[in-house]
Each structure stands twice: as C-alpha cells, then as structure tokens.
Structure 1
Amino acid sequence: MKLTKLALGVTVASLSLAACKHEAAKNEGAAATTTTDETSAAEPIGDVVYVNADTLLANYDLFKDVKTRLEAKAKKAEGDLKSKATAFEREVGRYQQSAQGMTNEQRAVTEQRLARKQQELANLNQSESNRLMSEESEEQKKIYDKVEAYLKGYSKEKGYKMVLSYSRGNSAILYSDESLDITQDVLKGLNEAYAKEKDAPKEEAKTDAKK
C-alpha cells in the first residue's frame, strides 16, 4: 500500500484575522503574557503551525477505511489472478504429458493457444495493477483535498497563515516547539466531519422511510 505517506504539503491562507490578532496583542501589553501562558497546544500564538502527517494518517478514520477497502480489492484481484495462473499451469502440465502422442500440427496449435493464454494472463496482471494504482491515486487525491479544505477553514478560524507538514525522517522541519503542533485538534475535527459524512446516508434513509 502506498497510502501510508500522504504528502499534506503546505496550506497558505491569506487571513486578515491574523493581522487583527497581532494588533490586539500590541495594545494589550502585559495582558498578552497571561494569554500566552494560558494558550493550549491546540491554540498556539503565531501565524505558522504544523501537522504531524504520520500521526494524522495513522488516526484519520477516512484514511483507515480507504486503506482497508483498497487492500481488500488488491487481495481479491491477487486471488483471482492466482486462480487463473494455477489453471493455466495445470493446462500446460496436461499438454506436456500428452505432447508425445500428438502430431506436429497438433503440438503447434496447442502451443500457440497456450502462448496466447500466457500473454492474456500477463496483460490481465498489468491491467489489474494499473487499475488498482489509478484507484489508489484517486483516493489519495480525495483525502488530500478533504484535509486541505479542512485546514483552510481551520486556519481562517484560528488566524494561521501557513500550516506545515511534518513527517519524521522526511521533513524540512528539524525542530519546532510543541505548542505549534495542531495535529490532535485537526485530527479531531477531521474525524468528526467524516463521521457526519458517513451517517448522512443513514439519516436520509430514516427520513425517506418515515415519508
């Protein structure tokens, strides 16, 4: 599965709210220090924050559901191909056992038929592989779009200008204060939104049943 390292990228929001916060902080003077001390990790002071991509993907319910669904499809496709390959091998074995009793023409016809089947199996394997890769790519894009859309709204609400993605061993961020980590807050919001999305068809069905 490649759906383990979704690149969240960088989300930039042009926000006037951030400028307002800075101006208010200047006017509050000593009170600003108290506000900073009371700010939780999910609500850091500043324009730039980050999300831990590894943690987000490991706990985002949509990602887990997509991964499970794609793995099931891959397993089924692999099983189907293995079954066809086994049947082909048995057919080749039968031919090898009876080849000596065939005429040259019969052997040539049989070998051509088996060669075509072998090529068909190879084409089917490639086709299934491409189909699964394409579907995985589409699902990755959907997940990326949902995360990006959520972060845009979240950033506007909180007053952030940029949300960076952090992934251990694969990130330009070598160190950052933990107060800038908004992963858990974002994860909570994403899972709540996904839960509502999953429940929507059920609620619609209940409404239709009452009519």
Structure 2
Amino acid sequence: MNTWKTLAMTVVAAATLASCNQQNDNKASSNTNDSTAVASNTDAKAEKIVYVNSDTLSEKYEYYKEIRTKLEAKVKKAQTDLQSKGQAFQREVADYQQKMNTMSASERQATEERLARKQDELGRLDQNASSSLAQDEATEFGNVYTAITEYLKKHAEDKGYTLVLTYSTKNPSVLYADKKLDITKQVVDGLNADYKKKNADKK
C-alpha cells in the first residue's frame, strides 16, 4: 500500500545533448598552440556539464507535489476502505464465536463457509487495491518524468549543456558536485512556469 514512496525520489534522469556547431568551434580553436587558449577550451567544456538536485526538485516542483498529494490521498482512501471492511468482518467473526454454541452443526458450517468467502474477498480487495495504486503511481510519475526530461532537453539545447546529471543526498550516485554547476533553481523555476502556463491554458 505504500509503494508510491519508493518512486518519489527517482523522477529525474540524466539527459545527454551534443551541439555540432560548438564542437566545430572547439576543433578550430584547438589548432592554436597557445596554452591559455587550450585552458580556456578545457574550462568551456567543463562548464557544459551541469547537475540538478533531485531532492530539491521533488520538494519544489509544483506538478510533482500535486501528483504526490493526489497519490497519498488515494492510498489513504484505499487504506480507510479496507480497514472499514476488515473491522466489519471482525465483528461478524466475533458475533459468530458468541453464538456458535447455540447453532446447529449445519448452521455453523454455513456460517464458517460464508466467513471464509468474505476473508478471501478481503484478501483479493487488498491485492487489487495495491495493484491499482502501483499502476496509478507508475503512470502519474511517468508523466512527471516526461515533463522534466522534455523541459531539460530544451533547456540544455538553449544553454549549450552537453550533459545534465542528477544529484541526491539520499541516493548519491554523484559523490561530489561543485555548486557552480548546480542549475536546480533554473530548472525548478522553468518547470513551474511551464506548469502554471499549462494549467492556465486549460481554464
């Protein structure tokens, strides 16, 4: 019932984009023997690698937050429904246990069979609810992932980035990242602006 939590921090992926014109410029400039020019080219290449902090993105991207809240509400509702049905079943079991000594053998058998069917039904409801929630989570977060990667592709093309990495303190695949390469705020601001515009267009 809580599988949505495992997906919450994995919505950003690395996007690789190359610019032919910039590569040609770098080749032309590399023909010079000037050591300063070589150093400048090296710095320029390094600056094309940037990263996005996925922890911050998940906290501040409005679309992501909306989806997370929506899924949390679905999980809570499913848990409440199942808990209510489970409590009703337990009351039926307790009622049967109080009355079983006054029942005939056939009545006890019929009641026990009915309770067994209800128990099986509750188990199926639980499995179906979990499966449905997992599917919803995959679909919803898939949409969030698509929105982020599509924006990052355009943003990287506009800025001339060749590689966009993700960084997370909770799942550090990158051990160190210079703050100067952090474009998280730009990305969050841009994503939220796009999301706000899309919502306004729907109205």
- TM-score range for the pair, normalised by the shorter chain length: 0.7 to 0.9
What are the equivalent positions in structure 2 for 1:189-204 lying under 5 Å apart?
A: 189-202=190-203
Return the letter of the residue paired with 1:185: Q
SS of residue in 2 equivalent to 1:165: strand
Return the letter of the residue paired with 2:121: E
For residues 180 and 84 of structure 1, what CA distance do their matches in structure 2 show?
A: 53
SS of residue in 1 equivalent to 2:47: coil
CA distances 1:1-29 after superposition (whole Å, capped 9, x unpaired): 234312422101122253366479889x8
Q: 1:14 aligns with which of 13, 18, 27?
A: 18
For residues 7 and 67 of structure 1, what CA distance do their matches in structure 2 show?
A: 12
SS of residue in 2 equivalent to 1:2: helix
For residues 156 and 77 of structure 2, what CA distance do their matches in structure 1 show?
A: 41
Shift of 1:47: 1.9
What are the equivalent positions in structure 2 for 1:14-163 lying under 5 Å apart?
A: 14-19=18-23, 22=26, 46-163=47-164
Percentage of matched positions with identical amino acids: 40
Contact kept in structure 2, 1:10 and 1:163, CA below 8 Å: yes
For residues 181 and 23 of structure 1, what CA distance do their matches in structure 2 show?
A: 27
Return the letter of the residue paired with 1:95: Y
Return the letter of the residue paired with 2:85: K
Q: How many residues align?
A: 191
Contact kept in structure 1, 2:11 and 2:144, CA below 8 Å: no
* Greater CA drift, 90-99 or 165-174: 165-174
Contact kept in structure 2, 1:85 and 1:121, CA below 8 Å: yes
Contact kept in structure 2, 1:18 and 1:47, CA below 8 Å: no
Shift of 1:67: 0.6
Contact kept in structure 1, 2:60 and 2:188, CA below 8 Å: yes
Contact kept in structure 1, 2:51 and 2:164, CA below 8 Å: yes
**Unaligned 5+ runs, structure 1:** 37-43, 203-211
Return the letter of the residue paired with 1:187: V
**Unaligned 5+ runs, structure 2:** none
For residues 107 and 76 of structure 1, what CA distance do their matches in structure 2 show?
A: 34
Distance 1:46 1:98, change over 3 A: same
Structure 2 residue aligned with 1:176:
177
CA distances 1:56-104 after superposition (whole Å, capped 9, x unpaired): 1111000100011111111111111111111111111111111111111
Return the letter of the residue paired with 1:60: Y
SS of residue in 1 equivalent to 2:6: coil
Contact kept in structure 2, 1:17 and 1:156, CA below 8 Å: no
Contact kept in structure 2, 1:4 and 1:57, CA below 8 Å: yes
SS of residue in 2 equivalent to 1:50: strand
For residues 176 and 25 of structure 1, what CA distance do their matches in structure 2 show?
A: 28
CA distances 1:141-193 after superposition (whole Å, capped 9, x unpaired): 11111111000000000011110011114223222221111100011000000
Structure 1 residue aligned with 2:9:
5
